[in-house]
Amino acid sequence: MTKPHLSFWIVAIVALVWNLMGCMNYIMQTNPESVAAMPEAYQKIIIGRPDWATAGFAIAVFGGAVGCILLLLRRAVAAPVFMVSLIGVAISVVHSVRVIGIDSSAILSLLVAAALFWYATIARRKNWLR
């Protein structure tokens, strides 16, 4: 196993913060007072969200956080965990698009999840992960 570049640690830490913010967002959405304070578009998504979309959201954010922790621990299993997280993001985005149409935050979430999966596969190929 080779020593990763400094950028590896920066990407992994920033990605962990991003995914932990997603976990906090998920938890906030279980609080009715927090939901009431959100913009109307988000309220529509949360209140009418079917179980499959809620599961996708949970898999997306908690899977992403676990993937980042595995990346920081330099474990090769981070890549498949990020793939599962990406699938969760895609499921969540499908519901959001159905409710409010294409949203910049949905596109950003997809791009970040795809980038993390891509980065973990590169790190694995560079032998930074075991």
Least confident of 9-18, 88-97, 98-107: 98-107
| Alpha-carbon span 67 to 82, nearest angstrom | 6
Residue 108 lies in a domain: yes
Q: How many domains does the chain have?
A: 1
Residue 1 lies in a domain: no
Residue 117 lies in a domain: yes
Contact predicate 58/24, CB 8 Å:
no
Tell me: pLDDT of 101 over 90. Answer: no
| Alpha-carbon span 17 to 55, nearest angstrom | 21
Q: Domain limits at 104?
A: 6-125
Q: What is the 3-class SS of the chain, one letter each residue?
A: CCCCCHHHHHHHHHHHHHHHHHHHHHHHCCCHHHHHCCCHHHHHHHHCCCHHHHHHHHHHHHHHHHHHHHHHCCCCCHHHHHHHHHHHHHHHHHHHHHHHCCCHHHHHHHHHHHHHHHHHHHHHHCCCCC
Residue 89 lies in a domain: yes
Who has greater pLDDT, 103 or 26?
Answer: 26
28 pLDDT band, cuts 50/70/90, is very high
Residue 130 lies in a domain: no
The single residue listed with the structure tokens 């009418």 is: 48
Structure token pair of residue 27: 């938890």
115 pLDDT band, cuts 50/70/90, is very high
